[in-house]
Chains A and B, each alone.
Chain A
Amino acid sequence: MNNIIQLNLIQFSLIYLLLLLVLFIMKKSKINQTRLLVLASLRMTIQLVLAGFVLTYIFRNPHPIFTTIYIIAMVAFAIQRVLSKNRGLNTKFKIGIAISIGISGILILSYFVMIIVGESLLNPQYTIPLAGMIIGNSMTGVTLAIKTFMESIDTQRDKIDSLLNLGVTPRKILIPYVNNALETALLPTMNSMLGMGIISLPGMMTGQILSGTLPSVAILYQISIMIAICTSVCLTTFLSLSIGYKSLYNKRSQINIFL
């Protein structure tokens, strides 16, 4: 296999021309999101350039402390994103989400890097990209789950009140919403597993093949990361919801959904 062709910066910048096509279609369809498109492209570029610099530095000067800091920053950012997308949660719920993302992410990541790959968890080349995929997907899953959970119990106040008035325990009332939210969070991951290899060649595998890895090796990594992502999404969401739903009621079996 050939090694990857380095992108020439001038050639590379031509990719931005494609955005003009998006802008044109958006203008035609009267979608008033030009600012968002510009902002999103700009932010992505800046963020990735920075990440590129930081990663280059870390790979050249591998030190356990850099890897550790990078992972902690990733987890912290993921937690912050989930919480900012779900306002109005009580403190215990928020702490539950933070702990769940941290514990499940690190656990699954360690299993992958140390047992499947057989590398040190502090090796940045493996740990950082894999952590990004595992924690990033967990973040998306949890955000979706908590949103679904809170919205469905908020819109079903009359049902919840009726069941409480009848002497049903808060646990029995809330568990169906927990299960439903967990399912909602898991479906996208499982659906993407269904189409993998046929409808799409997934990102990590594409990346590895582009940089010269044999497809036979790339698929093993891809299968492993998909299973790791699925497990991490499941575990993070399950833990977040399990801690979270209990924070919504007190010893007197009164349910308080929002702060």
Chain B
Amino acid sequence: MEIILKTRDLDFNDIIRYKDLEISKKKITFITGESGSGKSTLLKLINGTLSPSKGEIYYNGISILNIDSIELRKEIILVSQKVFLFSGTIKDNFRQFYEYRNLECPSDERMIQFLEICQIPFSLDKDCSLMSGGERQRIYIAIFLSFEPKILMLDEPTSALDNMNSINVIENITHFCKHREIAVIIISHDNTLVERYAEEHIVLKKEV
């Protein structure tokens, strides 16, 4: 089993101490744990938007300190639980996010493909500001997923969705990522999802 990510003696500001973790390539890993156990912080440490006060993280065997942070974040994309969409239509949103990455906007077919994965049956011209929290969350995930990273990290991706929608979205995302050999790390409180989709399961505890 190939390891794509591992952590050693990780510690954040002496508040959170992590046990050593290993994340396998091409696998669906769920992270659960009580609040304050540092789940979201762990994902931010992995994509380098936060720095650990001690310890190291290795991506493909290389310490992330030796990898350009921007390149790292292009390969390990974090979908935060705080959804942000630009004002305008779904298509405008794809266009703006791609523009920030200096990439050409994907074709309509491709956008629709990713929206379908995330259970969004709307036209590309629908205005996002009129949508519900759950719909906005799914569009946000669809856009991030469309960048097809090496690792996709989802922080509470179903927090604004009902049970049925949660299962469908996670089913589609995991299916797509398995097919494209994208490793997925999901933080979730939903036991049904963990039981159904976790190939690996990491439980974080407050270790002080």
Contacts and interface: CB of A to CB of B under 8 A. Distances in A.
Interface of A: 157-159, 161-169, 172-173, 252-254
Interface residues of B, number: 25
B50 A167 contact: no
Given A158-B83, A173-B100, A254-B49, A165 B69 contact: no
Q: SS class of chain A's interface: helix, strand, loop or mixed?
A: helix
B12 interface: no
Given A168-B100, A252-B48, A254-B51, A158 B82 contact: yes
A161 B82 contact: yes
B205 interface: no
4 closest cross-chain pairs (CB), A and B: A167-B74, A167-B73, A165-B78, A253-B69
Interface in B45-98: 47-51, 69-75, 77-80, 82-84, 97
Contacts of B147: 166
A166 B100 contact: yes
A253 B70 contact: yes
A165 B48 contact: no
Given A162-B82, A167-B72, 13 more contacts: A157-B82, A164-B49, A165-B73, A165-B144, A166-B74, A166-B100, A167-B70, A167-B74, A167-B75, A173-B100, A252-B51, A253-B48, A254-B48
Interface string B129-141: 0000000000010
Given A165-B47, A166-B144, A252 B97 contact: no
Nearest to A254: B49
A157 B80 CA distance: 12
A161 to B, nearest CB: 6
B101 interface: yes
Given A172-B100, A252-B69, A253-B70, A165 B79 contact: yes
A165 B70 contact: no
A254 B50 contact: yes
Contacts of A157: 82
A241 B48 CA distance: 26
Contacts of B74: 166-167
Contacts of B140: 162
Contact of A169 (B50, B70, B78, B83): B70
Name which of A162, A164, A167, A253 has the most chain B CB atoms within 10 A of its CB.
A167
Contact of A165 (B51, B75, B77): B77
